[in-house]
């Protein structure tokens, strides 16, 4: 399932890398981070909940805002 959401804290390439790394887990693929629009898009499989994704990002200090 494709998901798209906003992460307001994104500001530079560093953030992009961190998010991509944090979401490098089973069940999450095609992670795309757009710095300008602060948007993250990804595909998740049935084995993983969106709340898990949000908590992965939360651990890194990012919030997920549904758009």
Q: Which residues bind other proteins (CB under 8 A)?
A: 9-15, 18, 59-62
CA distance 36 to 50: 23
Minimum CB separation of residue 46 from other proteins in Å reads 29
**Which residue from 51, 47, 38 is spatially nearest to 5, judged by alpha carbons?**
38
The SS3 of residue 6 is strand
Minimum CB separation of residue 48 from other proteins in Å reads 21
Distance of CA 17 to the CA centre of its chain: 11
Choice between 10 and 42, CB closer to other proteins:
10
Choice between 28 and 56, CB closer to other proteins:
56
């Amino acid at each position: 399932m494709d998901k798209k959401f906003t992460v307001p804290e994104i500001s530079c390439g560093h953030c992009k890398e961190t998010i991509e790394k944090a979401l490098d887990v089973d069940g999450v693929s095609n992670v795309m981070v757009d710095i300008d629009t602060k948007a993250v898009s990804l595909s998740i499989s049935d084995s993983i909940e969106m709340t898990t994704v949000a908590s992965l990002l939360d651990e890194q200090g990012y919030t997920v805002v549904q758009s």
